[in-house]
Amino acid sequence: NAGVTQTPKFQVLKTGQSMTLQCAQDMNHNSMYWYRQDPGMGLRLIYYSASEGTTDKGEVPNGYNVSRLNKREFSLRLESAAPSQTSVYFCASIGDFTGELFFGEGSRLTVL
Amino acid sequence: AQSVTQLGSHVSVSEGALVLLRCNYSSSVPPYLFWYVQYPNQGLQLLLKYTSAATLVKGINGFEAEFKKSETSFHLTKPSAHMSDAAEYFCAVSPTGANSKLTFGKGITLSVRP
């Protein structure tokens, strides 16, 4: 019963390096999301994908790109990492009729 | 537009005491409301949700929340706190509840004292 799976769980980058966070869900959900969580800020939406082949910006999209590879997978890319992108990143998918978000366990990213 | 306000960032209670975590929302349409819990080093998981079927909603682990339209509130309560309730709690609002973006509050950390 995997649900939402994110990789990697931990990553340390140097400023200017690039990386991709991977996310996959096995619940056949249409909509998927990337959030970042910072102390005292709650969760802020970076990008979302309402269905396969579509993506839209959320509240804090600058510095990120996403790809909805297929219905299962939704990746988040940092092209040139900055210290301000140090955060915990969560992928989630939403039940089509329940509106309930199912979260991955998070990816902790540190940019030096 | 929709928003959620969770006043304060930290609540501390004694084991066995009442837990009350406050949430106020604003929404241009009748909202769907959620409480999520996050245990240390884990993702968020759903505690309970309000979808207009009943104003008093019961969730997992003995938590419940009451939707009060006149007060635009959806406060989370538990009659008797347990040490295992120590976590961060997030209130969230959605305009439609299905295939739409949730707006989260900033979260409240609950500590439980022995």
Nearest CA-CA distance, residue A4 and chain B, Å: 10
pLDDT value at A105 more than 70: yes
Give me B110's structure tokens: 């609950």
Q: Give the integer Cα–Cα distance in Å for A72 and A53.
A: 11
Averaged in consecutive runs of 10 residues, what is the pLDDT profile of chain B (114 residues)?
87 97 86 90 89 86 93 95 96 70 89 96
Residue keyed to tokens 């909603």: B57
Enter the tokens of residue A62. 């600058």
Pairing of strands B19-21, B87-94: unpaired
| Nearest chain A CA: its distance from B114 CA (Å) | 26
Residue of B nearest to A93 (CA): B99
B34's tokens: 């959620």
Query: Closest-CA residue in chain A for B100?
Result: A99
- B32, B42, B102 ranked by CB distance to A105: nearest: B42
Write the pLDDT tens digit of every residue in A58-79. 989 999 999 998 999 999 999 9
